Structure 1
Amino acid sequence: MKIMDGHCDALTKLYVNPKLDFEKEDQELDVSYPRLKHAGVKVQCFAIYLSDSIQQPTFDHILQMVDIFHRKIVSHSGIRFIQNVQDWHEVEAGDQIGAILTLEGVDALAGNLTHLRILYHLGVRSIGLTWNYANWAADGVMEPRKGGFTRKGKLMLRELETMGIIADVSHLSTAAFWELVEGYNKPFIASHSNAQKICPHPRNLSDDQIKAIIQCQGQIGLTFVPYFVDSVNLAVSIPGLLKHIDHVCSLGGERQIGFGSDFDGIEQWIKGLRHAGQYENLIEALCKNYNETQVEAFLFGNWRNFMLTNLPK
């Protein structure tokens, strides 16, 4: 079965440690070419995330990570950069793995919308508006004041809509989420978030938020972060993740479910999902609980439908 993963932080690890090798099964990389190939991952999103170790992030830091993406990932003969619908179709028709470039947090753009347009030209196709805390555009979900978008942040949203960059609300504050719902006229995603009803972590989505994503025909990448899956048990296993699938389905979101592992952005793992090469364990559990059509949709088909509708033509 084909798989799409809506979020990983392998780029950040490759930036922090230049000795890591994406082309080999490096034990420090959850996501590497051999592991993606073994698992049958057909499309992987790679996030540009500037970690806290960079005290004053600038646009130049983002450009350095774009450079790493080109030099260390899409330079591999088995990887194809996906920037539009045509690229997607060619990946599906061939043997290569598709790579989509995304941005997690707009802090380093420093309010300069020209930088945003440059990133579009460089192939960034989805942007997570914040990380956990406030930036110039909006408040993140862990920001104590719990604010929404700034004036400039709302201008950025209009620019995203005009250019066709997909807005990603994972990490966004609740107030900003609802401002986006009111003022953004295209489908949007939560690339790596789960259901609050099952696990009451602030990073997870409330039922009303899930319904809003369903309403706009967006997409939810259920994530493998253990403490977003289960807030009670320390040893989290794959059945705990299935509870989130069941809950989103119960709200009418069967067509909105995909996965966004957050591999390489986590230091704890679900039992049996330690790295991208272990997707087979998730597939086995899915096949025991859902029919083949549903499993194929959760793993790939729902993301595929969303991307073919929302990537540039």
Structure 2
Amino acid sequence: MIKKPVIDFHCDALSKMLLDPKLDFTQDERLDVNLTRMEEGGVRLQCFAIFLSQSLGKPKIEHILNQIDIFNQRVIRFGVTPVFTAEDFIALEQSGGQGGILSLEGADGLEGNLFYLQLCYEKGVRFLGLTWNYANWAADGILEPRGGGLTPEGVSLVKACHELGMILDVSHLSVKGFWELAELAGHSGRPFIASHSNAHHICPNARNLRDDQIKEIIRLGGKIGINMYPPFVKEGENTSIRDILPHIDHICSLGGEHTIMLGSDFDGIEIHLSDLQHAGQYADFANFLLKHYSEELVWGWLYGNAAGFLKAWLPPKEKAL
């Protein structure tokens, strides 16, 4: 079996560990992503999302800081290398170890305060999804019935992110919000990502990207993380890694072969693909892909496309706060 290096742009292990302090990141099998499984699956870099569960009550900055603390005390301390800058990522590549980077899934906990955005950036958060599925102070989510876009405060947030160097993430954002962000991104020259979304043409779930959205992400130089949650992969039951292929093929048909990366959604999902249930099985997934595509393409989707984006858009060391 060939083990390829992997970058995964979305998991919810931090939220899971916040809700259950007894979870052990090193090897607890209740975590889809743990240190042992990262090593087994060849995961070179894992993006850890800070997701504020509704069970926490009204979202607050302290909930974000609590998960950053979990990242520091229960992930990094056991050997995962934090990645804050482009130089950090290059050093990680050279070391061959396991790394972690932080994203914030939904601006709710920033409480409308741009100082808190600055604080999160200083503490290492490098990606920001404006919403989860519903409306907050910054924008409407994809499941918000009214289908609104960015609020005036949300526009200010986007501009502040562009100035700061925070990379924006459109997974969960409303369609109207997507296009408003795309216009702002076009003016700034900064691309954005969809960290964990698939192709709506293949699986018409609201969370998946329409063709024009995929083309816009490609045009702007962004990236799309393929999501492993079965309802986003295929309608119906008995979903496997084979059902990922039509999404890959479709995005490639739109010109996105260099846009695809991985965004598993592990630890944020209650059901899994039959043959890809945790990060330790990425080697099996890689070998399956190699039966259908060239090594160059597979390496790009598992690692290279995301790696190039990180080197280009993570802040250089001298500019990181």
TM > 0.5 fold call:
yes
- Partner residue in 2 for 1:252: 255
What is the CA–CA distance in structure 2 between the aligned matches of 1:129 and 1:76, rounded to whole Å?
A: 30
* Matched residue, 1:298: 301
Match of 1:53, SS?
helix
- 1:149-160 mapped onto 2 (5 Å cutoff): 149-160=150-161
- AA partner of residue 156 (structure 1): L
Q: Give unpaired runs (5+ residues) of structure 1.
A: none
Offset of residue 271 of structure 1: 1.1
Alignment counterpart, residue 21 of structure 2, candidates 15, 18, 21: 18
Residue 75 of structure 1 and its aligned partner are, at CA, apart by 1.1
Say which SS state the counterpart of residue 104 (structure 2) adopts.
strand
Inter-partner Cα distance in structure 1 for 2:24 and 2:56: 22
Task: Determine helix, strand or coil for the equivalent of 2:224.
Answer: strand
> What letter corresponds to residue 275 of structure 2 in structure 1?
G
Match of 2:47 in 1: 45
CA distance in 1, matches of 2:60, 2:103: 17
The alpha carbon displacement at 1:110 in A equals 1.1
Structure 2 letter corresponding to 1:307: L
1:281 aligned residue: 284
Q: State the one-letter code of the partner of 2:123.
A: L
- C-alpha distance in 2, partners of 1:237/1:64? 35
**Counterpart position of 1:69:** 71
Given the alignment, which residue of 263, 266, 288 partners 1:263?
266
Decide which moves more: 122-131 or 179-188.
Answer: 179-188
Give the distance between the partners of 1:63 and 1:308, measured in 2 at CA: 26
CA deviation digits over 1:37-73, x for unaligned, max 9?
A: 0111100000000111112111011111111110001
CA-CA distance at 1:95 after TM superposition: 3.0
Using the TM superposition, give the Cα deviation of residue 239 of structure 1 relative to its aligned residue in structure 2, in angstroms: 0.9
Matches within 5 A, 1:170-209: 170-184=171-185, 185=188, 186-209=190-213
Instruction: Name the SS of the counterpart of 2:159 in structure 1.
Output: helix
User: Corresponding residue for 2:83?
Assistant: 82
SS of the aligned residue for 1:175 comes to helix
2: CA distance between counterparts of 1:281 and 1:224? 14
Alignment partners' CA distance in 2, 1:269 and 1:174: 26
- Structure ranking higher on relative contact order (CA contacts 8 Å, 6+ apart): 2
Decide which of 218, 224, 246 is 1:243's aligned counterpart.
246
Match for residue 230 of structure 1?
234
Q: What is the count of residue pairs matched by the alignment?
A: 310
Distance in 2 separating the partners of 1:62 and 1:180: 24
The equivalent residue for 1:218 is 222
Q: Distance in 2 between matches of 1:76 and 1:102?
A: 20
Alignment counterpart, residue 5 of structure 1, candidates 3, 8, 22: 8
RMSD: 0.7
Whole-angstrom CA distance in 2 between matches of 1:39 and 1:276: 6
Deviation for aligned residue 1:281: 2.1
The answer for unaligned runs of 5 or more in structure 2 is 317-321
Secondary structure, in 3 states, of the residue corresponding to 2:11?
coil
Per-residue Cα deviation, 1:68-127 (whole angstroms, up to 9, x for no partner): 1100011122x1100001100110000321100110001011110000000010000000
Deviating beyond 2 angstroms after TM superposition, the runs of 4 or more aligned structure 1 residues are none
TM (norm. structure 1) is 0.98
1:284 deviates by: 1.7
Q: Secondary structure at the match of 2:126?
A: strand
Task: Tell me, in whole angstroms, the C-alpha distance in 1 between the residues paired with 2:46 and 2:172.
Answer: 20
